[in-house]
Structure 1
């Protein structure tokens, strides 16, 4: 039997959606998706895509309120914690005897978990 739903995109709210879209592009290597009529108006949500086509699309949506509580849903990424911190992420919780990953937050406070980057077999 077919499922009634499947993932289409991931969405992330931000007060400064343009700046946060740029940050996630630098962090993940994503690119802004440009439509056939060119760039979208600055007030519109910003669609981001993985140029390799492997990752899901990410929409960064403008909201007027600040983030005030812990995310109920978050991203897990394979990555380099030090490089992400250098880009402007903040360390929320470092890996320790309880957890084998680091919890970071993007510049607007959205939490994400960072696992050691996977190495390709070669």
Structure 2
């Protein structure tokens, strides 16, 4: 995790591409293809969650939500819903909201971290 801000910038650009594709697929009611793109979006969100909390991602079935300080409210229930039903438009909307909330938390963390540095 060399530069978290750079990694997040790249991740958010990738999310924008995924989001545009998902909007098109849901507009066309193409749930089958939307599912694959949703899985990519979910993976990006999980990666973002780890970056924000300065944790390294480890490929495992369970996400250690309790060890994350910067996370959206009700993350376990919301992400569980999305992962159980990736083909639903409602899941896409929820994932989009989680990305927005996580981005705000990332910015908040950066501000807190910057203000807590000792002055030169």
Normalising by structure 2, we get a TM-score of 0.30
Asked which structure has the greater RCO (Cα within 8 Å, sep 6+), the reply is 2
Normalising by structure 1, we get a TM-score of 0.30
Larger helix percent: 2
